[in-house]
Structure 1
Amino acid sequence: MTRSVLCAVDAGKPESDAEVLRQAARLADLDDAQLDVVTVLPDFGESFVSQFFEPQHHEHAIQQAQQALEDLSKSVLGEGRSAKIRHVVATGSAYQEILKTAQSAGSDLIVIGAHRPDLKDYLLGPNAARVVRHSTVSVYVVR
């Protein structure tokens, strides 16, 4: 029995992740499980690139991503269902943050989109492939 489902989406591309969110909600509803939705922002941290951004840039990006997650949930699943979802914005490497969020949320299942792979990745995008390879829980890949 699934108690918690984590759905990983790219908040910057809601049109490509609407079906991923629909599938995650369907799977969560089968067992009346908690649905969490996560998006990951890149971390420029102390790198050379960070000096080109204003100090409050990252906080503003987090707020925008949070709003985008909530808007995506409302538009795809409706306002009532969206109110029951935990929306999480993480910062760092996408696959690592997805796995970390799944572990801290106690997720039994991760739902992720395949996202246009390069030829070298063959069937899955690089983040989806890494999540599948390194996850300790089941991963459902939406194509």
Structure 2
Amino acid sequence: MSRPVLCALELSDRALDEKVLTEAARLAELDGAQLDVVNVLPNFGETWVSGFFEEHHHEKAVEDATKRLQDLCSKVLGEERNAKVRHLVATGTAYQEILKVAETAGSGLIVIGAHKPDLKDYLLGPNAARVIRHSDCSVFVIR
């Protein structure tokens, strides 16, 4: 068995998320690798905006994201395959957390979706571009 495949999903564009998940599952199955699925939430607790949210907002957001990951995986991959998937929810900056999860899991491949770039993306760089630049493992980008 080879190193795990990490599938990074935003949970904001269902069509793109389904394409990314389908391809990640296919690539993991080709190698008999573990499939990990991650979603990254912004960190509301360490910024000035934390005062605008309920005390347990973050815990509720993590629960919601975990359920949405499980539901999406179940719909796209089926119940049996979904039972073997590790569903992870991280908190922080998307590209940094994706890279941390990949390093911690020992991932051999990151599968991530890319949106069509806006003008601001050329100046700042989208998350997919940052993951590509800083990753220690291969990155497969889905459009």
**TM range, smaller chain:** over 0.9
Give the superposition deviation at 1:36.
Answer: 0.1
8 Å Cα contact 1:12-1:65 kept in structure 2: no
Give the superposition deviation at 1:5.
Answer: 0.2
> Aligned residue for 1:142?
142
Cα distance 1:2–1:140, how it changes in 2: closer, same or farther (>3 A)?
A: farther
TM-score, normalised with respect to structure 2: 0.93
TM-score, normalised with respect to structure 1: 0.93
8 Å Cα contact 1:2-1:109 kept in structure 2: no
- Inter-partner Cα distance in structure 2 for 1:46 and 1:141: 31
Q: Tell which deviates more after alignment, 73-82 or 3-12.
A: 3-12
Give the superposition deviation at 1:121.
Answer: 3.5
> How high is the sequence identity, in percent, across the aligned residues?
65
> Aligned residue for 1:31?
31
Give the superposition deviation at 1:120.
Answer: 4.9
Give runs of ≥4 in structure 1 deviating > 6 Å: none
> Aligned residue for 1:70?
70
Give structure 1 stretches of 5+ with no counterpart: none
> Aligned residue for 2:3?
3
Alpha-carbon RMSD:
1.4
In the alignment of these two chains, the number of paired residues is 141
